[in-house]
A and B are shown apart, each in its own frame.
Chain A
Amino acid sequence: MNWRGIFAVVRKDLKVVVRSPIILLPMIILPLILQVAMPIGLGVAFNLAAEAASDEADDISEFLEVIPEEVLTTLETAGEEGTILILFLVYLFAPLYLIVPLMVSSVIAADSFVGERERKTLEALLYSPLTDMELLIAKMMTAWVAAMVVSVGSFLIYAVAVNVIAWPYMGRIFFPNATWLLLVFWVAPGVAALGLAATVLISSRVETFQEAYQFGGVIVLPVVALMLGQIGGLLFFGPVLVSLLGIFAWGLSVILLLIGYDSFSRDTLFAKM
């Protein structure tokens, strides 16, 4: 394996990402909205509307009915309003976190696979001694590593934000819990792999970076569905469900990569040039 060549491509692609506002800005803005602005906004809203929330105690009770008993036990000290706030921050927002690795990996993969072809810089790379497999590994590594750096970084910021917002209710550092640790270190890497595998698969079917980029907007829909499922009480993001979700994400990404690998052969790529 030509690791020196692989790392050369990874370094190049990461440099290009850092120097491209159209790629870099969504990678900064999205985590800031999801992991900082939304929890802070929610915390402020809960504090301001504490009285109104108590008027809707019946609705809250209905919502609490779908929450597992062991979760509620851990939140005993938070009171009813604190419990709702923390349930939002820790459980209902959990699926939203998965948008970060999914979007970052698919956007970078779109630039790396489709954008490079569109800019006509791929051709010189294809004449290099890297094999198809080495080139694919290099391209995937770029997208996956960047997605994980952004995801773990945004998780750390989110952990601080959640503990600060919930401090008046909990009075202690309680986050992250087991579900989130699984989410960050098992599911998010799988989801990042899924995002880039899906992009590899569609890369041979689209012509421009914009088309591939728009595809990134479509693949977050299952994540939104997960969140709606939680709100509707159909499922609950506990350790078991999160573990199964990770298995599903990794499994599906492997299948998509196997299907997409053919579309990344030099022969297929050059046939499209």
Chain B
Amino acid sequence: MGSSAITLENLTRRFDDLVAVDHLTFDIGEGEVFGLLGHNGAGKTTTVRLLSGVLSPDDGSARVLGLDPQKNGADLRRRIGVLTETPSIDERLSARENLTIFADLFGIPSDDVTPRIDALLERFELLERAAEKTSEYSKGMKQRLALARTLLHEPDLIFLDEPTAGLDPIAARDVRDMIRRLSGDEGRTIVMATHNLAEAQRLCHRVAVLEHGRLLALGTLRELNERLGGALRFTLELDPTTCETAQQTLRAMDGATFELERPDTLTVTGVPRAHIPEMITALAGAGVRLYRVEPQEASLEELYFALHATEERR
């Protein structure tokens, strides 16, 4: 990851009494795949709109690709692609017509328009039906066409709002591969607003969890895990004859809790990652015969719900 592609500084937006985005402050690095996670109304889409220069903040500021979205909105939008939550495809026009309009809007050189559109239509398997009105398209085809439109002007920064919504599993996998390629091979920065935690876990380098417009948590999966006490869960496989000794040793450790899964397996939680070596040493020192220590990092989904639970308790 290089320097920052996006910087938010106390970015805030209100709609009447509702604070949709509440003093967000964080950076997104160049070439990063960054996830904006949260329930409906958490502020994900409003954040994307503020960063695209189509909404003005009430407080705070942002820099996107070195530009101020409010002052340089048109210039910025030339360099970003936004896949909206609904495909926003004109159903009375064909796929080719839809793309041609946006080629003109983004000022793609006239000689490049047809080859570029053909290449995208082929990439998204729409070429054969390019002349058909898009009202005849399935939901997945419309989503693929919207993705093609998002990439048409080869943006440096791509905002994807629920990119695989409505896609069948194979098409969704293709989109995920494409996101990896855009980020990994082409170095583009990608910001994904999504409810799909499994997808965010597969794709995102870092995530920001939003709740009522506020930043609940920010970081990699591991960082989020540590923020929640760093309580890794891991499995110990041991000689069953030493299981009782292992339990006595663990009881003596601060914060450690365990469950006996099988006579030879314990699931341990509450031990910070940094203390694992000491725990293994203590177990071995007590005569526990360890065969396997397997960390089970919490899934993003578990972390997400843990974060929300923590927030609700406040």
Contacts and interface: CB of A to CB of B under 8 A. Distances in A.
Given A5-B105, A266-B55, A270-B54, A129 B77 contact: yes
B49 interface: yes
Contacts of B55: 266-267, 270-271
A125 B84 CA distance: 11
Interface stretch (A116-124, A183-191, A208-216, A233-241): A116-124
Q: Give the size category of B's interface with A.
A: 20 to 34
Contacts of A8: 100-101, 104-105
B106 A128 contact: yes
Contacts of B91: 119
Nearest to B46: A270
Nearest to A128: B105
Given A15-B93, A131-B74, A123 B86 contact: yes
A127 B54 contact: yes
B132 interface: no
Contacts of B265: none
Interface string B71-96: 00111011010101010111111000
A123 B84 contact: yes
Contacts of B100: 8
Nearest to A19: B92
Nearest to B86: A120
Contacts of A271: 15, 55
B54 A126 contact: yes
A7 interface: yes
A4 interface: yes
A130 interface: yes
Residue among B54, B100, B107 facing the most chain A CB atoms (10 A cut-off): B54
Nearest to A132: B73
Given A126-B54, A270-B54, A16 B84 contact: no
Residue among B49, B73, B75 facing the most chain A CB atoms (10 A cut-off): B49
B52 interface: yes
Contacts of A123: 84, 86, 88
A73 interface: no
Contact of B105 (A9, A19, A119): A9
B105 A130 contact: yes
Secondary structure type dominating chain A contacts:
helix
A124 B102 contact: yes
A119 B74 CA distance: 24
Contacts of A125: 88, 105
Residue among B52, B102, B104 facing the most chain A CB atoms (10 A cut-off): B104
A142 to B, nearest CB: 13
A127 B101 contact: no
A131 B53 CA distance: 11
Contacts of A11: 101
Contacts of B78: 129
A42 to B, nearest CB: 38
B74 A130 contact: yes
Contacts of A128: 77, 102, 105-106
A205 interface: no
A267 B46 CA distance: 11
Contacts of A127: 52, 54, 77, 80, 82, 84
Contact of B104 (A7, A266, A267): A7
Contacts of A129: 74-75, 77-78, 105-107
A4 B104 contact: yes
Interface string A107-123: 00000000000011111
Interface in A205-260: none
B77 A9 contact: no
Given A8-B104, A8-B105, A16-B92, 9 more contacts: A9-B105, A15-B92, A19-B92, A120-B88, A121-B90, A124-B82, A129-B74, A270-B49, A271-B15
15 contacts: A2-B105, A2-B107, A5-B104, A15-B97, A16-B93, A119-B91, A121-B88, A124-B102, A127-B52, A129-B78, A131-B73, A266-B54, A267-B55, A270-B54, A271-B15
